[in-house]
């Protein structure tokens, strides 16, 4: 049984070996890679990715990455292709085949079938002289010297290399398409990631109460307003323009300093020129402001007029944090 240090050493060796293999891939990127990218970019069809075994799993991930970055893609398992799934391939589709050796039986069966219907074929393989490499229109070299597996058998380094080549392909296409964070949000509307990209301050603040008082409002009524609106804060407004803010903390500090506040008004205890944010700003921007100033609430403006409050708890509830 190996001790902890031996296990740590094995893990580090595995990571270092894969890191070196990835680093070496950059020297294998040639004009052929650029031509493959241009082919996909100018294609009117989809990208069909196929493979078998571990390569099939990597293929599924590349499909997911392409779809989420603006390049329509579909996975077709190489074993299923010869039992009907070749029907997935349409006239203008580009096929990408993943195989470390490029010589597996399934690959040798489907490659001629793909070529027969005249679809363009891109190979991601570690053996450019293989059957796949020789018959592909473009070869993206994913060669690795050795698997991280001590027996040099289990696909480890080779599948990492395939994944990296696929990512490089996807990012090149993303750049060519001018794919922006707004485009990304369209494909990721759910979950925290999507919300960071599309949720605005107004989306949150518009469903909250809008606590506000005048500069001349009595402290008693300030307390009532903050209590009723349950946001721990109120804006101080004049002609619906923000001139100050009063928080629960301001009230506590006032009570610790004075015994009689019957003659005090909102203007006497407010903090002038408070931090604020535009209603159309992204919710993630509100979080950045709150974190930067170590505050829990931000007043919201819409074209210079008071529009509400966004609270840190709102951002937590929406999964922004």
Give the residue numbers of the binding site. Answer: 77, 83, 216, 268
Alpha-carbon span 11 to 23, nearest angstrom: 18
| DSSP per-residue letters across 283-296 | HHHHHHHHHHHT-S
Residue numbers belonging to the annotated binding site for Zn(2+): 77
Q: Where are the beta strands (DSSP E) in 181-273?
A: 212-213, 233-238, 241-247, 271-272
Are residues 211 and 234 in contact, defined by beta-carbon separation less than 8 angstroms?
Answer: yes
Q: Is residue 55 helix, strand or coil?
A: helix
Residue numbers belonging to the annotated binding site for substrate: 77, 83, 216, 268
Strand-pair category, 94-99 with 121-125: parallel
Alpha-carbon span 282 to 33, nearest angstrom: 37
Quick one: tokens of 263? 């003659």
The DSSP bridge partners found for residue 74 are 48
Ramachandran angles phi, psi of 270, nearest 5°: -75, 160
Quick one: tokens of 33? 């890679």
Alpha helix (H) ranges present in 69-104? 78-81
Helix or strand holding residue 268 (H, E): helix 266-269
Alpha-carbon span 286 to 318, nearest angstrom: 13
Alpha-carbon span 18 to 10, nearest angstrom: 12
Q: Rounded to whole angstroms, what are the CA distances from 87 to 1, 24, 48?
A: 51, 37, 11
Are residues 171 and 32 in contact, defined by beta-carbon separation less than 8 angstroms?
Answer: no
């Amino acid at each position: 049984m190996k001790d902890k240090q031996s296990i740590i050493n094995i893990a580090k060796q595995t990571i270092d070996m894969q890191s070196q293999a990835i680093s070496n891939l950059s020297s294998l990127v040639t004009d052929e890679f650029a031509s493959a990218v241009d082919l996909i970019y100018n294609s009117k069809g989809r990208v069909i990715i196929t493979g078998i075994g571990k390569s099939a799993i990597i293929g599924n991930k590349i499909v997911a990455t392409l779809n989420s970055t603006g390049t329509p893609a579909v996975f077709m398992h190489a074993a299923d292709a010869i039992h009907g799934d070749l029907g997935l391939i349409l006239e203008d589709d580009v096929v990408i085949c993943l195989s470390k050796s490029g010589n597996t039986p399934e690959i040798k069966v489907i490659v001629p079938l793909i070529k027969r219907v005249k679809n363009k074929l891109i190979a991601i393989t570690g053996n450019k002289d293989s059957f796949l490499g020789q018959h592909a229109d473009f070869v993206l070299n994913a060669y690795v010297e050795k698997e991280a597996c001590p027996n040099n058998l289990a696909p480890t380094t080779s599948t990492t290399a395939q994944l990296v080549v696929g990512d490089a392909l996807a990012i090149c296409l993303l750049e060519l398409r001018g794919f922006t964070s707004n485009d990304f949000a369209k494909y990721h509307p759910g979950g925290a990631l999507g919300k960071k990209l599309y949720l605005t301050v107004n989306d949150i603040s518009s469903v909250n109460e809008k606590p506000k008082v005048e500069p001349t409002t009595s402290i008693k009524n300030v307390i009532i307003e903050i209590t009723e609106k349950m946001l721990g804060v109120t804006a101080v407004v004049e002609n619906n323009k923000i001139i100050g803010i009063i928080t629960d903390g301001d009230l506590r500090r006032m009570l610790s300093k004075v015994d009689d506040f019957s003659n005090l008004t909102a203007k006497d205890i407010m903090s002038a020129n408070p931090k604020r944010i535009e209603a159309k700003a992204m919710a993630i921007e509100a979080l950045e402001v709150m974190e930067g100033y170590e505050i829990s609430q931000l007043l919201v403006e819409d074209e210079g007029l008071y529009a509400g409050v966004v609270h840190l708890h709102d951002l937590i509830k929406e999964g922004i944090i």
